Structure 1
């Protein structure tokens, strides 16, 4: 029987708020040695995602570069976040990553008006799962 996302994902999610300065986002990624942060609202619902690549691209984009010190997570976050549920199969999650050419999906659970991030599944996690077979 195929494993479920909830069995393989990294549980817990490091987050920031829309108003978090990009310098703090970069610092948190560097200190925690992570490649992405989930952006949440005041209710803890997911509203976006920022990856290391998003930070680098923003730094290189002249319009952002000129105003770097004033930028927040809300300015550079991606809002079209690919998400899966803990009870989705690894095959479903892997296929999504392949089709969308992304390195991670956020694992979410329904929470009233939104979705709460409960984990992250990365390409590295998928490779580890394959190696277990």
Structure 2
């Protein structure tokens, strides 16, 4: 139990140190960040303008679905073509396909871990 208390005290000390650092440097960082990216800030920065931009983003993404849908089917046709002509594949193409499959599986695993709240066993402590 003493070890747990020691760890708690260490974490509290680190949290206090991080808070002090953020309080000391946070405003300067914010000012520098906003100055660097001022071309992206809409004037006036009001709630109404933010809601309008949010709607524009939503409907713009919605409008992009047909193009992405067509691109998906073109890619699927390419994969079908590769599968039909698999006799003509060389080692490089097979390696790229294997790496792609491994990457998809890895992203699936990462998504599962994130979905469980960054736990590996599925149980929360």
TM range (shorter): under 0.3
* TM-score, structure 1 normalization: 0.17
Q: Write 1 or 2 for the structure with the bigger share of helix.
A: 2
Bigger RCO of structures 1 and 2 (CA < 8 A, at least 6 apart) = 1
* TM-score, structure 2 normalization: 0.18
- Structure number with larger C-alpha Rg: 2
Q: Write 1 or 2 for the structure with the bigger share of strand.
A: 1
